[in-house]
A and B are shown apart, each in its own frame.
Chain A
Amino acid sequence: MRSHLALCAALVIVFGALTSSAYAQDPNAARSLAATCFTCHGTDGISVGGVPPSLAGQDKKYLLQQMKDFKAGKRPATIMHQQAKGYSDEQLEQIAGYFAAVKPAATAPASRGGY
């Protein structure tokens, strides 16, 4: 009975945390947002051949600033200015955080393919 109560209490706390923010619910929310960039910038932001550039391991502040500059039209681009506008600043911050935390050398060998 005591452990049952404790479990309930813990659940109430967790449930409260869950409802406070949409992102708290999915621990992989940042990864899912960043995955929309992998198509062009490579799996986990490790670009095959370096075009477009790798995002993995880049400084979070730098990445976020670039995205905001693309969004505001301050940095000229062929395509990024149109894509950056699709994400909120909060989402861009999550994405920048995800890529900044990737250690390029530590990822699976397979992501440096022969293309």
Chain B
Amino acid sequence: MTISRRDFIKWVSATAGAAAVSGCATTSGSAGRVIVIGAGYGGATAAKYVKMWAPDIAVTVVERGAEFISCPISNLVLGGSIQLKDVTHGYDGLKKRGVTLVRDEAVSVDPVKREVRLAGGNVLGYDRLIVSPGIDFMYDAIRNYQQAESSGRVLHAWKAGPQTVALRKQLEAMRDGGVYILAMPLAPYRCPPGPYERVCQVAHYFKTAKPRSKVLLLDANPDVTSKGALFKAAWKGLYGGIIEYRPNSNVVEVDASSMTVKTDFENLKGNVLNVVPPHKAGLIAERAGLITANNRWCGIDWLTAESLAQKNIHVLGDATLSAQAMPKSASMANQHAKVCAAAVIALIKGQPVNPISMLMNACYSFVSDKQVIHVTSVHAYDASQKTMLPVKGAGGVSDKASELEGTYAWGWARNIWADTLV
């Protein structure tokens, strides 16, 4: 264990400062101001934990949505066993904790003045800024995509919300014997097992309601990127003849009028087209100068979640440049947020930052309305490589799909929702 000179000096000055304060002076007002952009799994958790662990820090969250809508579990809306309201939650729990919520959109950040400008015109000052913007789509990667999307005929439904409901309606309206096409980009994308769960859910619906219909998954990846053997077993065992999987199938163009998708090799017609473009960090990350990798992702210091590009700004969740074997998942965003919250508090108070960081990921996937499989991994900070690495020998996947894990998946959902929002 070594301690850097810089950390030591920081620590000494903090201690000396504390001694001086206790001797005579008193501080007034808050110990510091933290602004959080985005109240999804990363941002909401960070806001809650900064406030819970350091009530003397003022925490303000800027969020454009009125409610929290969970992507995890939302594929069940497509399968028909739940509704969107079942994965929708309010922000009252955060308010009760003393977090200030501002319903607005952050449009720019001045890292020198330490200010965030909002679409509504307000300017908020910060000591530390936490940016958890999720993903935005790279529309240019697929010809005619934006046109097709605004016509309402081609959806991504890769951010749970109105498009999830719209896609369910399209599936309901489709004739028996129709074809549903899901097209997925190359990894990294949000929720690695998500596409494979989604085709299970759609097939589950077709099996009972429209048994002559087909599901076609066009995957730009060379193979199933998560829980491959388990998903393939479900496709064969539960949905034999309904789901067709085509790897190495990258969609480059859509045509909403003829309901056609084009890959590098072929043109395919479908009755419902669910095309998901490649992703990048949410737009505000770019505007704040936080993008460090491939024009897409935000590199961070894994001990603090501080941006590698901008001081005093931290980035969480799907927008980060994922460390080795680290998925873009809700579990990960929730866990990044706690590491970040502890570090932000320490940095504001001039205390040492924890030199150890551990993160645990778990993703549960519903292969039917009740049967579930999981993948889990543990990640530890490696000081020599300055990154998170998967812990060897830990982690794994389910032996087989089970209803018992269905119960645990709902337990996970209820607990992560409360851990994030209440």
Please give the residue numbers on chain A whose beta carbons come within 8 Å of chain B beta carbons, in ascending order.
7, 11, 14-15, 18-19, 21-23, 25-26, 28-29, 31-33, 35-43, 47-49, 51-52, 78-79, 82-87, 91, 108, 110-111, 113-115
Contact = CB atoms under 8 A, between A and B. Distances in A.
A39 B16 contact: no
A41 to B, nearest CB: 7
A79 B411 contact: no
B335 A78 contact: no
Interface residues of B, number: 60
Contacts of A39: 331, 334-335, 360, 362, 412, 415-416, 419
B416 to A, nearest CB: 5
Nearest to B416: A39
A91 B378 CA distance: 13
A40 B335 CA distance: 11
Contact of A7 (B16, B376, B417): B16
Contacts of A7: 16, 19
A7 B332 CA distance: 42
B391 interface: yes
Given A22-B1, A79-B405, 8 more contacts: A19-B1, A32-B354, A36-B358, A38-B338, A40-B411, A52-B411, A78-B398, A83-B376
A79 B354 contact: no
Given A48-B418, A85-B394, A28 B354 contact: yes
B355 A110 contact: no
Given A21-B1, A36-B360, A41-B415, A11 B12 contact: yes
B339 interface: yes
B422 A79 contact: no
B139 interface: no
B52 A108 contact: yes
A87 B379 CA distance: 10
B342 A86 contact: no
20 contacts: A11-B15, A15-B8, A25-B1, A29-B354, A29-B356, A32-B358, A35-B49, A35-B335, A38-B419, A78-B408, A79-B374, A79-B398, A82-B394, A83-B360, A83-B378, A86-B360, A91-B358, A113-B421, A114-B422, A115-B89
A86 B12 contact: no
B418 A115 contact: yes
Given A32-B339, A43-B419, A78-B374, A51 B394 contact: no
A64 to B, nearest CB: 17
B256 to A, nearest CB: 39
B123 interface: no
Contacts of A19: 1-3
> Which 4 A-B pairs give the minimum distances between C-beta atoms?
A86-B378, A86-B394, A113-B422, A51-B411
Contacts of B93: 110, 113
Contacts of B237: none
Given A51-B408, A52-B411, A78-B408, A85 B418 contact: no
A86 B361 CA distance: 11
Interface in B241-279: none
A83 B416 CA distance: 17
Interface in B339-390: 339, 342, 346, 352-360, 362, 374, 376-378, 380
Given A51-B410, A78-B374, A83-B360, A35 B338 contact: yes
B342 A22 contact: no
B169 interface: no
A83 B402 contact: no
A11 B331 CA distance: 40
A108 B97 contact: yes
B407 A26 contact: no
Contact of B354 (A11, A26, A87, A110): A26
Contacts of A49: 411, 414-415
A61 B339 CA distance: 27
Interface string B23-62: 0000000000000000000000000010011000000000
B75 to A, nearest CB: 19
Nearest to B94: A110
Nearest to A86: B378
A35 B335 CA distance: 8
B162 interface: no
Contact of B412 (A26, A33, A40, A82): A40
